[in-house]
Structure 1
Amino acid sequence: MDKLSGFETFVRAVDLGSFTAAADSLDLSPQQVGKQIRNLEQHLGVQLLHRTTRRQSLTDFGLRFYEQAKVILAEVAEAEAMAAQTSAAPRGKLRVNAPVSWGMRALAPRLPAFMIANPEVEVELSLSNRMVDLVEGGFDAVFRVGQLEDSGLMARKLAPYRLILCAAPAYLASHPPITTPADLVAHNCLGFVHSELRRTWHLDGPTGATDVQVKGRLSSDHGEPLVYAALEGVGLILQPEELVNDALSQGELVQVLPDHQAPTRPMHILYAPDRRITPALRAFIDFAAETFAAP
């Protein structure tokens, strides 16, 4: 800290043009200012200032050192501000984006706990099944399903996204039996527009992985319309467990081919690689990582 004090005193003397002015701004005596600068010169082994009885001027090295010292002091101030911000209570507004079904069924029910624990944080939650641009969209954090591309964003891994193949008992009773994934090609499979699930369903079973090319009379960019259609016996769906769990537990839907699971899909919360992450964003990332922890 003595070195930093010397840096600050030297920069202040140069900026203000005299030891006396620097002393007034630092609440020191002119003698103390002069001593600190002399000690700095002795430490460096180089003269920083030309001094006369009437004025002072920078040496060639002193000018270069002055410019570098200003950068160092600015970085120290930034680091101290970052530390103060990190220790501060979370506050301010966060803009968050998540997939629609997962956001409604998994995130939304748990979000009040975060709001209660952080009463000075305001959250604007946007739900969309289209892949949004975090930076251009002005989001602080986004939840994303699937393999990550090299986007330059920071990521925290969450519990994987699990899909369940199911249909209404009435549909299964009135259509040919389904005993293998290959049987699906003869059925009305309701597709999700924003992924390969529109036409290809991947299933892992006792004999290995199978890709089934499916077709159906209804597709949607949201899972809810597909669930409603499945409940009415229109066809089969392959949708997130958060979206179908209630219907499964009540017997309104039945899991199909339980020995053949759809591969889980990775899920992450993404945020910009900004070294000055606010306490509010840090608290939200930690909340997400803990609430939806990867096994």
Structure 2
Amino acid sequence: MDRLQSMRVFSKVVEQGSFARAAQVMELSNAVVTRHVADLENHLGTRLLNRTTRKLSLTETGQAYLERVNRILADIDDADAIVTSQSKKPTGTLRIYSQLGFGKQRLAELLPLYAAANPDVTLDVTLSERTIDLVEEGYDIGIFTGLQKFDASMISRQLGMAEVLLCASPGYIRQRGEPRVPEDVTAHDCLNFSNVDLLRNHWPIATDTEAVNIPIRSRMLSNNSELLRNCAAADMGLVVGPSYAMIDDIKSHRLVRLLDQYRLGQMAVMLVYPSRRQMSAKVRSFIDFITARFPHPETDPWCGK
């Protein structure tokens, strides 16, 4: 059994949603593709795929296995690409999708540096709050955060872990006082996300020993985090948001961090791209560029501490 090839076949079957399409793309027979997946399941002693006459679906074990397989395959492809792409110069248009807040607050700092180092690459960047299909919409790279979902067949690398911060303006604190314990938040006006149902009526606040859901009163709802921050800076109320979006306002004293001895949660910042055996030099150059600037992906590079 060629386990590495079986992993590649399994990943391609999931990506294509069909044994037959995977066989066609990989230029293998249907029987060979089926045998690779069966051999993998026999080796592991568990079923990875649920098969029906109409569709395939991953089992829970298969989902977890696919994520690790894609990382392994990506590392192998990366090793090959280091050798094969050294002589290739990044050129052409690089299409990047990024979650709105991260793009405006942090990607804007990095893109000029990348552009200066890669003058033959044209950047086509889309910022949005919506979750997209990178392949279907023709993007080379995606940066997703928080509750955004992406296809499990994509390669994903964690860039950092953003801490959720609670803030208010100095003016609001002078008018209404500063919450000292989580329960104090209930008495304050809150500026809240309209597109996150989990935060609609409660904000989770935790100590080292327990987590509590604090009831809140939303004075304003919006799906745009920048609008919420700006209204908070104008003394409207308390606001929560990821550290990458809040830290500049904190440093400039537009906002003050509150309850910093408590935790309001974290959200991962993920670099996502399609699994391709022969990655273009422009995509490889951007992946290398941005991952080099996040050397500690398990920590928060903008926590404000």
Short-chain TM bin? 0.5 to 0.7
What's the counterpart of residue 204 of structure 2? 202
The 1:95/1:240 distance shift into structure 2, 3 A limit, reads same
Q: Is the 8 A contact 1:140 1:272 kept in 2?
A: yes
Q: Secondary structure at the match of 2:232?
A: helix
d(CA) in 1 for partners of 2:225, 2:125: 18
What's the counterpart of residue 159 of structure 1? 160
Identity of aligned residues (%): 30
d(CA) in 1 for partners of 2:95, 2:252: 35
d(CA) in 1 for partners of 2:137, 2:144: 14
TM superposition shift of 1:108: 0.9
d(CA) in 2 for partners of 1:133, 1:213: 35
- Of the three residues 245, 248, 251, the one matched with 2:250 is 248
d(CA) in 2 for partners of 1:185, 1:257: 13
Any residues of structure 2 matched to 1:226-265 within 5 Å, and which? Answer: 226-265=228-267
What's the counterpart of residue 87 of structure 1? 87
Q: Secondary structure at the match of 1:217?
A: strand
What's the counterpart of residue 291 of structure 1? 293
TM superposition shift of 1:177: 4.5
What's the counterpart of residue 223 of structure 2? 221
Q: Is the 8 A contact 1:185 1:215 kept in 2?
A: yes
Q: Secondary structure at the match of 1:252?
A: coil
d(CA) in 2 for partners of 1:231, 1:263: 22
d(CA) in 2 for partners of 1:249, 1:278: 39
Gaps of at least 5 residues in structure 1 are 1-67, 69-81
Q: Secondary structure at the match of 1:218?
A: strand
TM-score scaled by structure 2? 0.65
Q: Is the 8 A contact 2:105 2:245 kept in 1?
A: yes
The 1:145/1:212 distance shift into structure 2, 3 A limit, reads same
TM superposition shift of 1:97: 0.8
TM superposition shift of 1:188: 1.2
What's the counterpart of residue 71 of structure 1? none
TM superposition shift of 1:288: 1.7
Q: Secondary structure at the match of 1:104?
A: helix
Residue correspondences, number:
215
- Paired AA for residue 231 in structure 2: A
d(CA) in 2 for partners of 1:277, 1:221: 35
Q: Is the 8 A contact 2:178 2:258 kept in 1?
A: no
- Paired AA for residue 195 in structure 2: H
TM superposition shift of 1:261: 2.2
TM superposition shift of 1:176: 5.3
Gaps of at least 5 residues in structure 2 are 1-27, 29-80, 300-305
* Cα displacement string for residues 48-97 of structure 1 (whole angstroms, at most 9, x for unaligned residues): xxxxxxxxxxxxxxxxxxxx9xxxxxxxxxxxxx8755631111111111
Q: Is the 8 A contact 1:129 1:194 kept in 2?
A: no
